[in-house]
């Protein structure tokens, strides 16, 4: 395996007494799409700003191909940042925006134009957009222009600071895929931050989850999905069913249900699980008809249903506990609100998470 392009060792940032980033150790491989996910205030921006050279670390080291770059200013690092605001010049043409970094480096006009045309093609923007004013472009087009301009620097690493957060849902979904395609086409290292684990899942090779300045889990999307390191990570994955449990001789005792449940026989990294949470995704729950059984089953009342595009989500109340069940429209529950229903799931479809 080649050496990582970036290695962070005990990297920290303090603002006065406040520790915004705490002792981060991480290696990012060349060509990787690495996403840092965390709630607001968890330190994502501070971390990425240190990597880009916009903020000086208070402690630890940043190594670029083995060389310490803590003190290297942003403009002398082979990296470029795409901001949420995009920071385009609205009253200049698309071409002028894309060529800006090349102009700053003294690249002659002919070569700049060639590179701009190449980037327009790469970002699937019409060639005649070269002369169009940025203020006349749509949100999605501006996004692509900002990407083209970042690539014009020909950086080795591209940093993205929530570039899609202000964009509406449908377009964002399209751009997420385009960004992943662009990553493939350019082969560059992408380091991306977002507060949406869902967005991270679509694009990333690996994801690092941040909480209060620390990395609480690093792994491939599948790993994070199926083996969340703790409750915080599992709840970050969106709407999931989380039950507090403690092992007893027969399985996992769940006080909220007053029942013993069966957990996964492959406990992931949790072979010494001493108590914590059983996590079940809503799509793994099903309504059980007469005569149907599941390894875990509970009886409750269908409280409400919500249409989610191709799927329907149901809220089932079991005593004090609330379960979310999700079904494709074709598998919808045929019945009425306030029906007594039995829902169930297989032990292998649940995961254990310690606190």
Contact residues toward ligand ATP (CB under 6 A) are: 15, 18, 20, 38, 40-46, 195
Residue 257's alpha-carbon distances to 207, 254, 263, 286, 321, in angstroms, are 34, 6, 15, 17, 7
We find the least distance from the C-beta atom of residue 265 to ligand ATP, in angstroms, to be 37
- Measure the CA–CA gap between 148 and 101, rounded to whole angstroms: 11
Q: How far is CA 69 from the centre of its chain?
A: 27
Q: Of 84 and 186, which CB lies nearer to ligand ATP in the complex structure?
A: 84
We find the least distance from the C-beta atom of residue 282 to ligand ATP, in angstroms, to be 26
Q: Of 58 and 262, which CB lies nearer to ligand ATP in the complex structure?
A: 58
We find the least distance from the C-beta atom of residue 15 to ligand ATP, in angstroms, to be 3
Q: Of 156 and 214, which CB lies nearer to ligand ATP in the complex structure?
A: 214
We find the least distance from the C-beta atom of residue 34 to ligand ATP, in angstroms, to be 16
Q: Of 16 and 108, which CB lies nearer to ligand ATP in the complex structure?
A: 16
Q: Of 21 and 298, which CB lies nearer to ligand ATP in the complex structure?
A: 21
- Measure the CA–CA gap between 122 and 220, rounded to whole angstroms: 27
Q: Of 44 and 327, which CB lies nearer to ligand ATP in the complex structure?
A: 44
We find the least distance from the C-beta atom of residue 24 to ligand ATP, in angstroms, to be 12
Q: What are phi and psi of 103, to 5 degrees?
A: -65, -45
We find the least distance from the C-beta atom of residue 302 to ligand ATP, in angstroms, to be 37
């Amino acid at each position: 395996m080649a050496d990582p392009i970036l290695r962070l060792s005990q990297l920290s940032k303090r603002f006065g007494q406040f520790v915004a980033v705490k002792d981060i150790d991480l290696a990012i491989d060349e060509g990787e799409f690495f996403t840092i996910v965390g709630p607001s205030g968890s330190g994502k921006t501070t971390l990425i700003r240190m990597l880009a050279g916009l903020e000086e670390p208070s402690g630890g080291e940043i190594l670029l191909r083995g060389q310490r770059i803590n003190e290297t200013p942003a403009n002398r690092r082979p990296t470029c940042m795409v901001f949420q605001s995009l920071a385009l010049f609205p009253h200049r043409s698309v071409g002028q925006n894309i060529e800006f970094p090349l102009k700053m480096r003294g690249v002659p006009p002919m070569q700049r134009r060639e590179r701009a045309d190449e980037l327009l093609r790469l970002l699937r923007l019409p060639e005649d957009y070269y002369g169009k004013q940025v203020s006349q472009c749509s949100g999605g087009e501006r996004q692509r222009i900002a990407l083209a301009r970042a690539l014009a620097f020909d950086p080795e690493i591209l940093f993205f600071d929530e570039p899609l957060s202000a964009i509406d849902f449908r377009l964002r979904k399209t751009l997420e895929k385009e960004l992943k395609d662009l990553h493939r086409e350019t082969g560059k290292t992408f380091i991306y931050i977002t507060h949406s684990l869902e967005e991270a899942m679509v694009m990333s090779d690996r994801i690092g989850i941040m909480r209060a300045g620390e990395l609480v889990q690093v792994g491939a999307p599948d790993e994070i999905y199926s083996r969340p390191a703790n409750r915080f990570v599992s709840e970050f994955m969106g709407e999931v069913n989380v039950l507090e449990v403690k092992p007893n001789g027969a399985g996992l005792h769940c006080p909220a249900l007053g029942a013993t449940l069966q957990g996964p026989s492959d406990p992931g990294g949790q072979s010494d699980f001493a108590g914590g949470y059983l996590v079940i995704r809503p799509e793994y729950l099903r309504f059980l008809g007469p005569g149907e059984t599941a390894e875990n089953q509970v009886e409750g009342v269908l409280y409400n249903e919500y249409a989610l595009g191709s799927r329907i989500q149901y809220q089932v109340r079991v005593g004090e506990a609330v379960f979310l069940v999700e079904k494709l429209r074709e598998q919808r529950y045929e019945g009425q609100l306030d029906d007594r229903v039995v829902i169930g799931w297989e032990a292998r479809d649940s995961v254990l998470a310690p606190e």
